[in-house]
């Protein structure tokens, strides 16, 4: 009976693996097809003849520039989010003061604000400040909307760090900043990994703010640059799949590096004293 149950679980797992991996495999295989082969057999996984023409056309259409813009704005935003959310989470989780709970609730309310409701105010503000059509104009919205969930994750994780670690550091004469940098920060690496992956994926794929705030091709991030593959009457699907394949590489690398710490960070974490 146990053997049958185990075999059934493996069969279900294999079926789920096929369903979930098919879109990714389809994207990669289509990127090696020509337009003619795609139209003849659009759903085949294995191309009849592998070609790198689509990847060459992707680079000719300026993918590198869009790629670099996305790297700059994504990395900058994630670094700021990690730094600010860690500094905000420290007093919220480790210090007792009257406004502790209300401030934490205010940050949580930020997760309930619909992004689309802020598009017009953010556009007007960016235009008035002279930030419109500049890459760093995306920095403010990206960081602002990433902070609530990031502060929530880090605050919950910091609460699990034993108080004895801080007390030992205080006895050695350490101040708040030294305790934070030498005791708290090294022990929240799982939470940092979770915040990095979550926000990296979201910001890397973000479309609406980039569409509203950026108009010059030289400042466009990758999601906006991919529109070049959409013609007036047709779409270069293999070329688009080649661009998407290259665009997914940074996200996959980030996830592979930090995946072991993601679950631990999401569950609040624990630190052994």
Give 54-65 pLDDT, tens digit per residue.
888 888 888 888
pLDDT given at position 264:
55
Q: Does 38 share its domain with 82?
A: no
46 and 91 fall within a common domain = no
Domain encompassing residue 44: 1-51
Reported in sequence order, the residue ranges of 115-254 that DSSP labels E, i.e. its strands, are none
Mean pLDDT of 87-105: 85
Q: Establish if 119 belongs to a structural domain.
A: yes
Evaluate whether residue 205 is within a structural domain: yes
Bigger pLDDT: 26 or 227? 26
pLDDT number for residue 17: 84
Domain identity same for 168 and 92: yes
Q: CB–CB of 238/38 below 8 Å? A: yes
Comparing CA positions, the residue from 108, 113, 265, 133 lying closest to residue 209 is 133
Q: Which two tokens stand for residue 211?
A: 């569409």
pLDDT of amino acid 273? 39
- Assess whether 196 and 256 both reside in one domain: yes
User: Which residue has better confidence, 262 or 247?
Assistant: 247
- Examine residue 118 and state whether it is found in any structural domain, yes or no: yes
In a domain, 273, yes or no: no
Taken in order 158, 163, 169, 175, the sign of the CA dihedral is: positive
Q: What is the mean pLDDT of residues 170-190?
A: 82
Interval 79-95 mean pLDDT: 90
How much is the average pLDDT of 119-141?
91
Residues 41, 106 within the same domain: no
How many folded domains does the chain comprise? 2
Nearest to 151 by CA among 214, 97, 109, 117: 109
Co-location of 23 and 123 in the same domain? no
Least confident of 31-45, 120-134, 140-154: 31-45
Whether residue 165 is contained in a domain is answered as yes
* Mean pLDDT for the stretch of residues 3-9: 84
At 193, the pLDDT band (50, 70, 90 cuts) reads: confident
Lowest mean pLDDT among 85-94, 237-246, 252-261: 252-261
* Mean predicted confidence (pLDDT) in 13-28: 87
Do residues 82 and 178 share a domain? yes
Query: What's the pLDDT at 265?
Result: 52
Tell me: do 36 and 126 sit in the same domain: no
Same domain membership, residue 259 and residue 189: yes
Residue 115 CB partners (closer than 8 Å, separation 6+) = 145, 208, 209
Q: What is the pTM of this model?
A: 0.81
146 and 28 housed in the same domain: no
Quote the pLDDT of residue 266: 53
- Over range 222-239, report the average pLDDT: 76
Same domain as 19, residue 142: no
Give the mean pLDDT of the chain.
Answer: 84
- CA atoms within 13 Å, Cβ hemisphere of 48: 10
Give the pLDDT of residue 180. Answer: 82
Q: What is the rounded CA–CA span in Å between residue 258 and residue 261?
A: 6
Q: Are residues 46 and 79 in the same domain?
A: no
Backbone angles phi, psi at 160, to 5 degrees: -85, -10
Q: What is the pLDDT of residue 233?
A: 54
- 216: CATH: 1.10.3720.10
Residue 271 resides in a domain = no
Q: For residue 83, is it within any domain?
A: yes
272: in domain: no
């Amino acid at each position: 009976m146990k053997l049958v149950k185990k075999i059934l679980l493996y069969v279900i797992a294999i079926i789920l693996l096929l369903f979930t991996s098919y879109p990714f495999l389809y994207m990669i295989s289509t990127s090696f097809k020509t337009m003619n082969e795609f139209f003849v057999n659009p759903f085949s996984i294995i191309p009849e003849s592998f070609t790198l023409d689509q990847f060459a056309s992707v680079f000719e259409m300026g993918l590198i520039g869009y790629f670099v813009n996305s790297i700059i704005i994504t990395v900058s935003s994630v670094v700021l989010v990690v730094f600010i959310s860690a500094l905000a989470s420290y007093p919220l989780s480790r210090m007792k003061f009257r406004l502790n709970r209300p401030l934490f609730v205010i940050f949580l309310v930020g997760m309930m604000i619909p992004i689309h409701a802020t598009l017009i105010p953010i556009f007007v503000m960016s235009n008035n400040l002279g930030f419109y059509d500049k890459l760093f104009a995306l920095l403010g919205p990206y960081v602002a909307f990433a902070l609530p969930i990031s502060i929530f994750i880090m605050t919950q994780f910091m609460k699990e760090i034993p108080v004895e670690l801080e007390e030992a550091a205080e006895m050695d004469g350490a101040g708040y900043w030294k305790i934070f940098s030498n005791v708290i920060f090294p022990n929240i690496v799982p939470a940092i990994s979770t915040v990095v992956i979550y926000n990296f994926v979201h910001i890397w794929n973000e479309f609406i703010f980039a569409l509203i705030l950026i108009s010059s091709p030289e400042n466009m991030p990758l999601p906006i640059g991919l529109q070049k593959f959409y013609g007036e009457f047709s779409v270069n699907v293999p070329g688009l799949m080649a661009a998407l394949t290259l665009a997914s590489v940074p996200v996959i690398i980030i996830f592979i590096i930090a995946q072991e710490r993601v679950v631990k960070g999401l569950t609040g974490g624990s630190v052994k004293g």
